């Protein structure tokens, strides 16, 4: 039997549900790389052979152990909103989809502890219910997951105040399952979190994350139109530098005159 057949048999034997329907696998094998005409011809044909949807860290560990044993590549997937092919299975193998790991474990004292598949928008609503909000989120906030944002994103709305995800203090701690000869569950805190921050799931599968929140603010949106981009950027810069004004985001979009 091939390594893949052995893995499939082992997973089924362990009671872990697998998906191998070609249509679903095609969907699970892509992200927003198709924004790029350069990446599309390389990534469009790539397909996983199987997908799994674990619902607990114990299940993630069991899957990791079997993939290591049979030497089948693992690609971790959040919501697949990454826009340069970060969750495309380049060598086939197994997709580990985190959508079943969606418990908010703790939400106290300005820190949220969550499983990786929690949607950022869901967490934002839960945090706001307790007087807190996310420090930053990508424009894909409604669909992207916390795990995918930390492993594949960088910053976004809120970064004008709180910096990037990689800035000290934004990501407090993580738990992960490694994919070494004997997969382990590790907890990283302090600067050690940087080993997995923005690492695209290449050195482990995040199973829990503690992220810092900000006090909730009733933000107001204002749109100002400018004749040229330089003026728009100058206002954005001035606002970002004004200590007495709390900014959430400053966007400059310059449309050419018809
Ligand atoms: C229109 C658009 C706007 C965007 N705007 C922003 C923005 O403002 N800021 C920004 O930073 N990004 C932005 N992005 C990129 C992307 O949406 C974000 O990075 C998002 O947070 C990814 O989340 P996801 O759940 O979709 O992750 P996925 O795309 O599923 O995964 C992203 C990466 O993380 C890995 N991963 C996922 N879950 C885990 C896990 N549990 N353990 C280990 N690795 C894991 C995947 O393997 C992959 O490498 C944008 C994308 C689009 C299409």
Q: Which residue, of 48, 64, 99, is where some domain finishes? A: 99
pTM, two decimals, is 0.94
Based on the structure, what is the number of domains in the chain?
A: 3
64 and 147 inside one domain = no
Contact between residue 104 and residue 121 where contact means Cβ atoms under 8 Å apart? no
Pocket, ligand 1, Cβ cutoff 6 A: 31-32, 75-83, 86-87, 98, 116, 138-140, 144-145, 147-149, 151-156, 200-201, 205-206
| Index of the ligand 1 atom closest to the CA of residue 119 | 25
119 and 134 inside one domain = yes
156 and 209 inside one domain = yes
76 and 151 inside one domain = no
Strands (DSSP E) contained in 121-204 are: 132-134, 171-177, 185-189
Residue from 30, 43, 80, 81 to probe ligand 1 pocket by mutation (most atoms less than 8 Å from CB): 81
When pLDDT is cut at 50, 70 and 90, the band that residue 52 belongs to is very high
Mean pLDDT (whole number) for 51-59: 98
Contact between residue 215 and residue 127 where contact means Cβ atoms under 8 Å apart? no
Task: Report the separation in Å between the CA atom of 191 and the middle of ligand 1, taken as the mean of its atom positions.
Answer: 22
Task: Report the separation in Å between the CA atom of 192 and the middle of ligand 1, taken as the mean of its atom positions.
Answer: 21
Q: Which residue, of 57, 78, 99, is where some domain finishes? A: 99
16 and 93 inside one domain = yes
pLDDT at 53: 98
Q: How far apart are CA 105 and CA 112, in angstroms?
A: 8
117 and 59 inside one domain = no
Q: What are 134-192's pLDDT values in tens digits?
A: 999 999 999 999 999 999 999 999 998 999 999 999 999 999 999 999 999 999 999 99
77 and 136 inside one domain = no
146 and 240 inside one domain = no
24 and 127 inside one domain = no
188 and 169 inside one domain = yes
Q: Return the higher-pLDDT residue of 128 and 222.
A: 128
Q: Is the dihedral of CA 237, 241, 244, 250 positive or negative?
A: positive
Return the CATH number at 95: 3.30.43.10
Return the CATH number at 198: 3.30.465.10
Contact between residue 79 and residue 119 where contact means Cβ atoms under 8 Å apart? yes
Average pLDDT along the chain: 94
Q: Which residue, of 62, 78, 99, is where some domain finishes? A: 99
Task: Report the separation in Å between the CA atom of 231 and the middle of ligand 1, taken as the mean of its atom positions.
Answer: 32
237 and 133 inside one domain = no
Name residue, tokens 């302090």. 190
| Index of the ligand 1 atom closest to the CA of residue 154 | 11
Q: What are 228-257's pLDDT values in tens digits?
A: 989 988 988 888 888 888 888 766 555 555
When pLDDT is cut at 50, 70 and 90, the band that residue 258 belongs to is low
Domain span at residue 224 reads 219-258
26 and 110 inside one domain = no
Q: How far apart are CA 247 and CA 214, in angstroms?
A: 13
Helix (H) or strand (E) holding 107: strand 104-108
Task: Report the separation in Å between the CA atom of 31 and the middle of ligand 1, taken as the mean of its atom positions.
Answer: 9
| Index of the ligand 1 atom closest to the CA of residue 200 | 49
């Amino acid at each position: 039997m091939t390594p893949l057949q052995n893995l499939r048999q082992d997973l089924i034997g362990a009671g872990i549900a697998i998906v191998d329907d070609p249509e679903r696998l095609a969907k699970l094998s892509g992200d927003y790389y198709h924004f790029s005409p350069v990446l599309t011809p390389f990534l469009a044909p790539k397909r996983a052979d199987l997908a799994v949807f674990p619902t607990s860290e114990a299940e993630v560990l069991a899957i990791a152990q079997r993939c290591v044993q049979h030497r089948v590549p693992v690609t971790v997937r959040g919501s697949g909103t990454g826009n340069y092919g970060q969750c495309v299975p380049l060598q086939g193998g197994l997709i580990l989809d985190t959508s079943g790991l969606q418990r908010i474990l703790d939400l106290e004292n300005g820190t949220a502890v969550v499983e990786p598949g929690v949607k950022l928008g869901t967490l934002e609503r839960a945090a706001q219910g307790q007087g807190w909000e996310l420090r930053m989120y990508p424009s894909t906030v409604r669909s992207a997951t916390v795990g995918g944002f930390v492993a594949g994103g960088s910053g976004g709305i809120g970064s004008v105040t709180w910096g990037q995800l990689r800035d000290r203090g934004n990501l407090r701690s993580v738990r992960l399952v490694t994919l070494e000869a004997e997969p382990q569950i590790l907890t990283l805190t302090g600067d050690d979190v940087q080993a997995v921050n923005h690492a695209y799931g290449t050195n482990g599968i995040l199973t829990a994350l503690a992220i810092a929140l900000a006090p909730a603010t009733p933000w107001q949106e204002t749109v100002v139109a400018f004749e040229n981009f330089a003026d728009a950027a100058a206002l954005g810069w001035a606002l970002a530098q004004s200590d007495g004004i709390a900014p959430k985001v400053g966007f400059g979009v310059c449309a050419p005159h018809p």
